[in-house]
Each structure stands twice: as structure tokens, then as C-alpha cells.
Amino acid sequence: MKWLLWKDYRQNRLVVFAGLFFLLAPYAIGLWDGRAMIYERARAPEGRLIEIFAIASVWSLAISQVTFALIGGNAIAGERVDRSAEFLYAMPITRRKLLASKIVVALAIAAVPWLIDAPVFWYLANVGALARGRLEVGEIFAVIATTGLIFFSVAWVFSSFIASPTLAVCGGLVTPLIPIVPEQLGLPVPFPATRLWYCTICLTLALVCFGVGTWHYLRRVEP
């Protein structure tokens, strides 16, 4: 299992680099934006610096969810497109073990922004002038988390059926827009465009997609 985990990490190394970029870029922009205030604290409006980093942390968390789509899309289709799946499936490893390894690595990569950004945002959002209600912070986290889940699950189901990681990732990234687009275009929508509705739809769809993708992956004989 150790070698399998290592293989899956190594197979996703580029995704990890992309994830690090998504994680750090908003902080870098925040640092650049607040550099004068860091040097001359007296000139900074009260709480401005905190706000900059709170925004950076929430942006970092939000765009880091793209990494989830990259992992999901690359998980199965990535090995199919370069045909390394042919080599892997000639090995005496059960599909369940292969699946477990892919999921463990995906969770480990996805956990990093949550372990860094979420505590930073939680702390900054609850101090000084920025203080926000716990409910609002919780809702922001819920929207980001369900968006990440649907990114992953839709990319995963595509990845399970097709041999193109690019299409799988695009599928994952586009799907969360589906509940938003009709409302943005002023079309009649069958549900109120609230965060709760968005989260419910995304979560349901994510569970269905993950289930179907996993079922197909476990059943399929061919690499």
C-alpha cells in the first residue's frame, strides 16, 4: 500500500504544485497589497490589514478547491491517457485497493488548504473590526466545501468513464455553475437562489457522481 500511495502522490505531483500555487497566490497578493501598511502600521486604517489577510485566506481556500477538480479528473483518466493503467492493471492489486489509495491521496492533498486557510479565516473573521457572525463564516465554509466536493465528484465520474483528464477537469469545474447560471441570466428557477439550496444541490449531485464513478471504476474490467 505504501508504494501505491507513493505512486498516486507521484502521479499527482503536478497537481500538488498547482495546489500550492492556488494556496499561496492570494496571500502573496495580500502581502503585496498591504506591504505599505506592514512597514508603517500607523498609517493603516484600523483593521484593514486583518481584512486583507482574511480576504486572502478565503480566496486561497476558494481557489484551492480547483485542485480538487484536478485530482478528481486526473485520478483515473490520467493513467488511462498515458496508458500506464495497462501496466498498473497487470499487477495483482484489487480495484478496491487502487481506489482506496487514490482517495487517500486526494483527501490528503485536499486537506492542506482546509488545515491552513480555514483556521486563518476563522481567526481573522472573529477579531477586531472585521468581526462577523459565526453563522456567516460557517455558510461561507459550507459553500466553498460543497463547491470543492462537486468539483471533485464530477471530475471523478468523468475520469472514471473517459480517457481525457482535461475533459474530466473541465466537467468538474463547469458543473457548479449550472445552479447559478439560470438565476444570473434572469431565467425562472425552480428554487430560491440561497446558499442552503446551492449547498443542498451540490452535495446531492456530488454524492451521486462519486457513487456512479466509483461503481463504474470497480466494475470495469478494462484498464
Partner 1 sequence: MISPAQDGPAIELVGLSKRFGRTMAVNNLSLTIPRGSTFGLLGPNGAGKSTTIRMLMGMLSFTAGQARVLGIDVVADAVQVKQRVGYVPEAHYIYRWMRIREAIGFCKSCFYTWNDQMCREMLELFGLDAEQKVKHLSKGMLTKLALLLAVSHEPEVLLLDEPLSGLDPVAREEFIDGVLRAICDRGQTVLISSHMLDDVRRLADTVGILYEGQLLLHGNLDALLTSTKRICATLRDGFQPKQTPPGTVWQRIQGREWTITVRDFAPEKVQQVQATEGVEQVRVVDLGLEELFKDFVRGQRVSP
The yes or no reply on residue 48 touching partner 1 (CB under 8 A) is no
Which of 39, 94, 187, 192: binder of partner 1 (CB under 8 A)? Answer: 94
The yes or no reply on residue 93 touching partner 1 (CB under 8 A) is yes
Residue 84 or 126: the one with the smaller Cβ distance to partner 1 is 84
- Rounded-to-integer distance, Cα 100 and Cα 106, Å: 10
The yes or no reply on residue 101 touching partner 1 (CB under 8 A) is no
Residue 3 or 39: the one with the smaller Cβ distance to partner 1 is 3
Residue 20 or 93: the one with the smaller Cβ distance to partner 1 is 93
Cell 474490467 -> residue:
221
Which of positions 8-27 make contact with partner 1 (CB under 8 A)? 10-11
Length of the chain: 223
Amino acid at 73: G
Which of 17, 87, 123, 215: binder of partner 1 (CB under 8 A)? Answer: 87
Residue 83 or 195: the one with the smaller Cβ distance to partner 1 is 83
The yes or no reply on residue 89 touching partner 1 (CB under 8 A) is yes
Whole-number minimum distance, CB 154 to partner 1, in Å? 26
The yes or no reply on residue 190 touching partner 1 (CB under 8 A) is no
The yes or no reply on residue 36 touching partner 1 (CB under 8 A) is no
Which of 61, 85, 106, 173: binder of partner 1 (CB under 8 A)? Answer: 85
Which of 36, 42, 90, 185: binder of partner 1 (CB under 8 A)? Answer: 90
The yes or no reply on residue 41 touching partner 1 (CB under 8 A) is no
Query: H/E/C letters for each residue in the chain?
Result: CHHHHHHHHHHCHHHHHHHHHHHHHHHHHHHHHCHHHHHCHHHCCCCHHHHHHHHHHHHHHHHHHHHHHHHHHHHCHHHHHCCHHHHHCCCCCCHHHHHHHHHHHHHHHHHHHHHHHHHHHHHHHCCHHHCCCHHHHHHHHHHHHHHHHHHHHHHHHHHHHCCCHHHHHHHHHHHHHCCCHHHHCCCCCCCCCCHHHHHHHHHHHHHHHHHHHHHHHHHCCCC
Residues in contact with partner 1 by CB under 8 A are 2-4, 7, 10-11, 82-87, 89-94, 221-223
